[in-house]
Structure 1
Amino acid sequence: MKKIAFLTALALVASSASAQKLTPVKLQLKWFPQAQFAGFFVAQAKGFYKAEGLDVQLLPIGDQSPIQTVATGTADFGTTWITDLLTARQQGIPVVHIAQLFQKSGFTLVSLKTNNITKPEDLKGKRIGVWPSGNEYPAVALLKKYNMTTSLDSTASNPSVQAVTYPFDPSIVFPDKVDAVSAMTYNEVDQIVGLGYPLDKLNIMHTSDYGINLLEDLMFTSEKVLADKNFRGSGLTGKQIAAKLVRATIKGWNYAVRNQKEAVGIVLVNCGNTCKGSGSRSSALSHQTWQMAEIAKLYNAGPTLKGRAGYLDPAVYKQNVALLKSLGILKADPSPAAVDYSVWQAATGLK
């Protein structure tokens, strides 16, 4: 009788241990830890990933592209911008869009009010600070829409605008070396304010206000992961793991947006010197609080406002593709395999 009780106890312990076994997942972030990725850190801290049976490791990338780490299998999933993903597909890299987190572009061009740059046409003949490695596309697209060329175009004999490439720290070029500078609403705008240029002294031109709404932070993976019949020996397919990851991440983002102060506290635990913001005189707390508030605006837009967080609006996607084709960045429409809606549908139960 005692032996039976002992064996039963062992079985219960084994069952409990098995229930606690989590599937390891590596997710590559596009940049250093900051509130830009608050939803991921919140999902991790609040146990949303664990509740889905996942042990998610968030990998900071710095100024490299997460496309390569996912393509090579160093990471299973990643975050990036729509332009990065579609240009990678064009190059034959089999990455797949599975969820669209930010529904509105946060890209802006910032100038001093004394420069009198209040509309795109005012940029003609000016110097514009842009980022490298494809991050300049929103600025180039805006200029092309208003019939201007840049010095980045080797075929332009007399470019309308002089592009000054700089490595993400506005203090390197602003305001002495450029008339306007690229800045994300949630990051560099606050850094510029921290450099001693208050908002009432600045003109901030949002490219999305002029029809240039190239989508930014999204979740993606590889065709190999999605085709995996037994992801890391979990007994689940890659698609099932992807759906669990997306579901928990959306839950994390919804919580972060509703509880911004708590979310910022979670972010601060995860990030180091970059929390303050390069070139900024503000504290890490104030910079991340600014960032969280601005990020919430990009998340709470479009489909999210209709209860469809993470959904890639087909009409907006089509507009993005058309814009990138008009710039010559895409040579043709992407393969239908570039976007997999089935993951989002499984994650949300929506169609």
Structure 2
Amino acid sequence: MTSLARRAALIFARTTLFTALVAGALPLSSLAQSSPKTDKVVVAGWSKPITEITNLLVEEDKGFFKARGIELAYVPGAGGGDALRNILSGQADIAFTDPGSFFAALDKGEKLRAIYDIYPQNVFNVVSLKSQNITKPADLKGKRIGVYSLASGTRQNLQVLLHQAGLSESDVTVVVTGLLNFAPLMQGQVDATAATDTGLLMGKQKGLGDVNVMEVKNYVNISSDFFVVREDTYAQKKDALKRFLQAYQDSAEWMMRSPQEAAKLAVKVAIDGQNEAINLEVIKLRNASSVSTTTAQRGLGAFDLAALQKGAQAYKAFGVIQRDIKVSDVVSQDLLPGKK
């Protein structure tokens, strides 16, 4: 076929295609590739938008989720129990919650599934001023102890420590102090306060002074936070959830590679992010809590089921839950990045 003939044939083919499209014989998708699928995913957090979750807050600047076809939204909360209530009520798709709240909801019969281990290291503690001479769990008896909220991991992990000394909440006075709960400690409104490693860092930056710290990981090193979904969400939205988890992993890896950039962006996106130097220290702590021997072997988000089962048994022993929980029935790792 001559060059002229080939050009004539091409023009004829294009004209025929155009005519078919106009006539409705062919869909427009035949002429151009369809746009990538986008799904909205709402995350219910345990906190307001704070520095330690900077990787979830920088979507406008970094676009990790958009790149995976996810339109990300964040609903703040006051504790892991709040996060779970928001998914159970349909206000969100995924809860950013702690194991104690997760187990407590399962104990009440809720149909939930954990799909990603956000922080495999326990980051909770109980802090007191040196003057109180509280150095071991038994010393908490009769004391006023602050927690973020009654639906928070601080309360659940306080119960863990109390159990070490054969105590329960009835042996202390629990005081709800809010997220920035070191002011009540410094002002003498409580004798000790349950917090996290990043909370303690912020407290020290604000003049907390010399303190005694009891770290829960020295007693039970159970993961601090999971991504949790309702069973029906897990069954019906697997593709969107997989893309969400891949995007989250992308964002977490970015924060590990570029903590200085994350600290700088936190000034803009986090309500407690005014000081870039403090942001950097918070981000370093949270990066460290995101990794473990399990994640080193199997990637970020992987669960250590044996350790988690011990944790569930411990929570039953502490009285946080009443029934046995088989974690392999309520944890799924098939949606993790890299899984087929």
CA 1:143–1:69 in structure 2 vs 1: closer, same or farther (change >3 Å)?
closer
Which of the residues 68, 76, 79 maps onto 1:60? 76
1:298 CA displacement: 1.0
1:130 aligns with 2:129: no
Q: Are residues 1:298 and 2:289 paired?
A: yes
Q: Which has the higher mean CA deviation after the structures are superposed, 217-226 or 42-51?
A: 42-51
Cα distance in structure 2, aligned partners of 1:85 and 1:56: 23
The superposition leaves residues 12-66 of structure 1 with CA deviations (integer Å, 9 ceiling, x where unpaired) of 89635x2244222222222111233233335674333223222222333355712
Q: Quick one: which amino acid aligns to residue 294 of structure 1?
A: L
Q: C-alpha separation between the residues in 1 aligned to 2:173 and 2:76?
A: 33
Corresponding residue for residue 192 of structure 1: 203
Residue equivalent to 1:266: 265
Secondary structure at the counterpart of residue 101 of structure 1: strand
Instruction: Give CA-to-partner distance per residue, 1:42-96, whole Å, 9 cap, x none.
Output: 5674333223222222333355712122123221222111111121122222221
Match of 2:137 among 114, 120, 145: 120
Cα contact 1:120–1:143 (8 A) shared by 2 = yes
Instruction: Call closer, same or farther: CA 1:328–1:313 in 2, change over 3 Å.
Output: same
Structure-to-structure mapping, 1:88-107, within 5 angstroms: 88-107=105-124
Q: Determine which structure has more spread, i.e. the larger CA radius of gyration.
A: 2
Residues in 2 aligned to 1:25 and 1:14: alpha-carbon distance in whole angstroms: 30
Q: Are the equivalent residues in 2 in contact too, given 1:39–1:252 (CA < 8 A)? A: yes
What does residue 86 of structure 2 align with?
69
The Cα shift of 1:295 comes to: 0.8
TM-score (norm 1): 0.80
Distance (Å, rounded) in 2 between the aligned partners of 1:162 and 1:50: 46
Q: Distance in 2 between matches of 1:181 and 1:167?
A: 11
Instruction: Give yes or no for the alignment of 1:179 onto 2:219.
Output: no
1:1-351 equivalences under 5 Å are 1=11, 3=15, 15-16=32-33, 18-42=34-58, 45-62=61-78, 65-135=82-152, 136-149=155-168, 152-153=169-170, 159=171, 161-168=172-179, 169-187=181-199, 189-198=200-209, 201-209=210-218, 211-228=219-236, 238-271=237-270, 274-276=271-273, 283-334=274-325, 336-344=328-336, 347-349=337-339
- Residue 184 of structure 1 aligns with an amino acid whose one-letter code is T
CA apart distance, 1:121: 3.9
Seen in structure 2, the aligned counterparts of structure 1 residues 301 and 43 have a Cα distance that, compared at 3 Å, is farther
For 1:131 and 1:40, locate their aligned partners in 2 and report how far apart those are by CA, in whole Å.
21
How far has the Cα of 1:248 moved from its partner? Answer: 1.6
Task: Give the secondary structure class of the aligned counterpart of 1:348.
Answer: coil
User: Contact 1:275 / 1:287 at 8 angstroms: preserved in 2?
Assistant: no
CA RMSD of aligned residues (A): 2.9
Deviations 1:165-216 (A, max 9, x none): 42333213435133322121112x1332233234xx222221111x223422
Unpaired segments ≥5 residues, structure 1: 154-158, 229-237, 277-282
Q: Which amino acid aligns with 2:112?
A: V
Tell me, what secondary structure is at the counterpart of 2:334? helix
Query: Secondary structure at 1:242's aligned position in 2?
Result: helix
Name the stretch that deviates more: 254-263 or 124-133.
124-133
Contact map agreement 1:166 1:172 (CA 8 A) in 2 = yes
